[in-house]
Amino acid sequence: MMMAEFAELIDSHAHLDFPEFADLSAVLERARQAGVSQIVTIGIDFETSRKAVRIAEENESIFAAVGIHPHDSFAVTAEDLRELETIAAAKKVVALGEIGLDYYRDRKPRQIQQECLIRQLETAVKIGKPVIFHIRDAWGDFFEIASQFQATLPPSVMHCFSGDWEIARRCLDMGFYLSIPGVVTFPKTDPLQEVAKRAPLDRLLVETDCPYLAPVPYRGKTNEPAFVVHTARKVAQCRKESLEKVAVHTTENARRVFAIQASVKV
Ligand SMILES: [Zn+2]
Ligand SMILES: [Zn+2]
């Protein structure tokens, strides 16, 4: 085997419950071969959140985040929130998410999205876990809501970060981490590349958001955790730093924000 260019990487955002990953052991073996040592798998509603927990419980290297995605948001009741808390109490749940606001697709009324986000933020504060935010074209309302939780919410993650440097700086000022997706490898993504370049290295994560958004050279194909290496390499290129350095720091950051331990064996 060739000497690896880096020790390990963490994919901070994957949807391993999707049918594309039915042969999960093969997916995990390819990730391991590529140097991806740990993965956070994400729920978007109660059903997929429960699946995420199950997958994490069955695989040492996988952790789970649970929550209601803005596309799936609804008028949550106190009972729903208790249910979410119960799911989130599992040992391998490292965050609430993905939760947020998506005004790009606007699949649910904005008022419902906001309510659903606020209730879940209250839950995150209550249980003391960080949040994984999904925010698209909703920065004004997001900052207004997030600022109300700034003092109490544990440091959290902006997943699939899609803003420019100005927005990135506001997120950083609020103590959030920026998770860079494979989109950064696409042509004409200069604003995102600028964010990858200018953000402090101790606040960056990398993710696949698989099965979506495969990085170049796999663009258009089914994405999977192994491919996060290409995203990390592009981030390193943008910063004119080594892949190893980016790998070391993004791995440390993911472990810090999600409070996860290194694998016993990489
Ligand atoms: Zn998302
Ligand atoms: Zn996602």
pLDDT tens digits, one per residue of 201-247: 999 999 999 999 999 999 999 999 999 999 999 999 999 999 999 99
**pLDDT of amino acid 74:** 97
- Tell me the CA–centroid distance for residue 37 and ligand 1, in Å: 22
- Tell me the CA–centroid distance for residue 159 and ligand 1, in Å: 6
Whether residue 185 contacts residue 208, with contact meaning beta carbons closer than 8 Å, is answered with no
What pTM does this model have? 0.97
The ranges assigned to domains in the chain are: 9-258
Best CA proximity match to 131, nearest among 145, 141, 120, 119: 120
**pLDDT of amino acid 152:** 98
- In terms of DSSP H, where are the helices of 40-182? 46-58, 78-88, 110-127, 139-149, 165-173
Cα–Cα distance, 144 to 163 (Å, whole number): 16
**pLDDT of amino acid 265:** 55
Band (pLDDT 50/70/90 cuts) for residue 266 is very low
Burial code of 206-227, b = ≥16 C-beta within 10 A, e = fewer? bbbbbbbbbbbebeeeebbbbb
- Tell me the CA–centroid distance for residue 238 and ligand 2, in Å: 24
Q: What are 236's strand-pairing partners?
A: none
**64-108 per-position pLDDT tens digit:** 999 999 999 999 999 999 999 999 999 999 999 999 999 999 999
- Pairing outcome for strands 9-14 and 131-136: unpaired
CB atoms within 5 A of ion ligand 1 belong to 98, 134
- Tell me the CA–centroid distance for residue 132 and ligand 2, in Å: 9
- Tell me the CA–centroid distance for residue 15 and ligand 1, in Å: 10
Q: State the average pLDDT for the chain.
A: 96
Band (pLDDT 50/70/90 cuts) for residue 264 is low
**5-62 per-position pLDDT tens digit:** 889 999 999 999 999 999 999 999 999 999 999 999 999 999 999 999 999 999 999 9
How many residues are there in the chain? Answer: 266
Is the per-residue pLDDT at 192 higher than 80?
yes
- Tell me the CA–centroid distance for residue 209 and ligand 2, in Å: 5
State the fold for domain 9-258: TIM Barrel (3.20.20)
**pLDDT of amino acid 181:** 98
